[in-house]
């Protein structure tokens, strides 16, 4: 059939298209196309947002890994490195597990558990840091000879074992430690106590008590005087209240020598303090009386009371010596005055007063000088020179011309010889002899002075007299 234009058909089609029921294909499809584009755009936005959050999550996880706390290698002693590293790796694995399962956990639970693991790593570092500081403190005390003799042999053995890590490193629920040779586990978080010499405590109580004893003794007030008793009570009350266990052990062993000259009885002292019944089966050689005194003490509080009593007794002995010297001098002056029937003139009375003061000044200075020196040890040449005066020469044990070969010898004014082997009482008498020789004491001062400080025999006047 030929393609010829048919006007009737064209009109028919035109009429059909203009009819209200006719559907425009493009118009019908266009909304769907727009909706599809919007959907695809939303998906793209969501995808990009999701990728950004995943990237952020990866960054957070990386930062968590990167910021996990670790052991400080330079703090760990060689013997502990293996066990410490193993524990650190275990903690790191637990931390990694938490991080990898963070999305499946409550955020607060995650934070709490991470903090606990971080704390364990921190505690390991703190333990080794404290161990390092403890070791350094021990070395400082040892170098300065400030380790107290109040520690028993067992105390010292344990300290040395821990310092050398002499045992098997172990990890317990309480932390890292050392299993010692005797089977005891010593935690590094609870290191054995190193006791320093209580120099300051000794100086303060000695200065306070002796000041009272000397000041009142020079005025003729004895230890039975209410003024003396009240002042001493106040000082001793504060002293006892502030005395720690370490103070008591050091004061007893290092200054009062209650643990033996070298602290050899320190362990025995501690045992008796804590177990008084041991006194029945403990042998003290030549210090049996000492043991009988300590035996009745009940615990550390009783020992502290005993320590305070010894310082009070030293002060009392000083006060008694000065009071006796004062009384003796006043009696002598009074007797001389009574021999004159017409009584002393004003000038005579003033002379007696002046002589009494000079006598007391000499006695007071001498007692103070003696308190500055430790006669149980080798004498300090500078102190001897300062206190005795005159020409002081020290000769070594092997020095040619030493009148006592084999020991250090001090010679004052070329004629007063003090070898190191002399007893404390002998050394004191030599120092007093030198003071007379150099004019700071009178010869007639010596008898009463020696009796007052109990230095007439071989016994030590500085050792506290046990009740």
Total Cβ atoms within 10 A of residue 337: 13
Total Cβ atoms within 10 A of residue 250: 28
pTM of the model: 0.52
Quote the CA–CA distance of 409 and 455 in Å, as a whole number.
21
What tens digit of pLDDT does each residue of 166-199 get?
Answer: 778 888 888 888 888 888 888 888 888 888 889 9
More confident residue, 267 or 447: 447
Strand ranges, E, within 314-430? 392-395, 409-412, 416-419
**How sure is the predictor about 277, in pLDDT bands with cuts at 50, 70 and 90?**
low
Quote the CA–CA distance of 409 and 81 in Å, as a whole number.
53
What tens digit of pLDDT does each residue of 307-354 get?
Answer: 898 899 999 999 998 988 888 888 888 777 776 655 566 677 778 788
CA–CA–CA angle 76, 80, 86 (5° rounding): 100
| Cβ–Cβ < 8 Å for 336, 343 | no
For all residues of the chain together, what is the average pLDDT?
A: 75
> Rounded mean pLDDT of 248-253?
87
CB contact set of 34 (below 8 Å; sequence gap of 6+): none
Q: Give the Å distances, CA to CA, from 30 to 19, 24, 27, 34, 100.
A: 21, 10, 5, 6, 48
Cβ-count burial of 335 within 10 angstroms (0-12 exposed, 13-18 middle, 19+ buried)?
A: exposed
Quote the CA–CA distance of 128 and 138 in Å, as a whole number.
15
| Cβ–Cβ < 8 Å for 165, 80 | yes
Which strand (E) or helix (H) includes residue 178?
A: strand 175-179
In the block, tokens 């009593």 appear at 309
> Rounded mean pLDDT of 148-156?
80
More confident residue, 314 or 134: 314
140-177 CB burial, b ≥16 within 10 A, e <16: ebeeeebbbbbbbeebbbbbebbbeeebebeeeeebbb
């Amino acid at each position: 059939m030929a393609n010829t234009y048919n006007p009737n058909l064209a009109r028919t089609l035109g009429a059909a298209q203009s009819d209200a029921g006719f559907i425009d294909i493009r118009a019908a499809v266009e909304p769907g196309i727009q909706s599809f584009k919007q959907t695809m755009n939303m998906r793209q936005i969501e995808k990009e947002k999701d990728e950004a959050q995943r990237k952020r999550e990866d960054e957070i996880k990386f930062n968590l890994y990167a910021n996990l706390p670790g052991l400080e290698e330079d703090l760990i002693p060689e013997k502990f490195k293996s066990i410490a590293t193993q524990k650190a790796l275990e903690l790191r694995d637990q931390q990694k597990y938490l991080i990898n399962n963070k999305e499946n956990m409550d955020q607060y639970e995650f934070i709490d558990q991470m903090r606990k693991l971080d704390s364990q790593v921190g505690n390991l570092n703190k333990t080794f840091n404290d161990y390092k500081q403890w070791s350094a403190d021990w070395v400082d005390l040892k170098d300065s000879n400030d380790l107290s003799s109040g520690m028993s042999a067992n105390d010292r053995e344990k300290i040395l074992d821990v310092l050398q890590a002499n045992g098997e490193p172990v990890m317990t629920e309480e932390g890292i430690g050392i299993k010692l040779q005797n089977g005891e586990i010593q935690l590094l978080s609870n290191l054995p106590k190193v006791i320093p010499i209580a120099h300051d405590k000794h100086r303060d109580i000695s200065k306070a008590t002796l000041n009272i004893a000397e000041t009142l003794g020079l005025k003729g007030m004895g230890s039975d005087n209410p003024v003396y008793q009240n002042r001493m009570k106040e000082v001793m009350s504060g002293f006892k209240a502030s005395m720690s266990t370490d103070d008591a052990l050091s004061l007893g062993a290092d200054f009062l020598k209650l643990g033996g000259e070298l602290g050899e009885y320190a362990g025995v002292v501690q045992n008796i303090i804590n177990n008084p019944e041991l006194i029945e089966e403990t042998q003290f050689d030549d210090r049996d009386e000492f043991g009988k005194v300590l035996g009745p003490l009940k615990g550390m509080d009783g020992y502290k009371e005993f320590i305070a009593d010894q310082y009070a007794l030293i002060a009392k002995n000083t006060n008694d010596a000065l009071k006796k010297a004062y009384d003796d001098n006043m009696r002598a002056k009074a007797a001389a005055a009574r021999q004159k029937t017409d009584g002393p003139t004003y000038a005579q009375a003033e002379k007696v007063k002046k002589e009494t003061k000079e006598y007391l000044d000499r006695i007071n200075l001498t007692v103070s000088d003696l308190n500055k020196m430790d006669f149980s040890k080798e004498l300090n040449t500078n102190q001897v020179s300062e206190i005795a005066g005159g020409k002081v020469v020290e000769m070594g044990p092997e020095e040619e011309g030493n009148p006592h070969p084999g020991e250090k010898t001090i010679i004052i004014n070329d004629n007063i010889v003090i070898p190191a082997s002399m007893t404390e009482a002998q050394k004191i008498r030599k120092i007093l002899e030198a003071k007379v020789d150099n004019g700071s004491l009178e010869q007639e001062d010596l008898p009463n002075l020696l009796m007052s400080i109990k230095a007439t025999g071989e016994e030590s006047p500085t050792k506290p007299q046990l009740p």
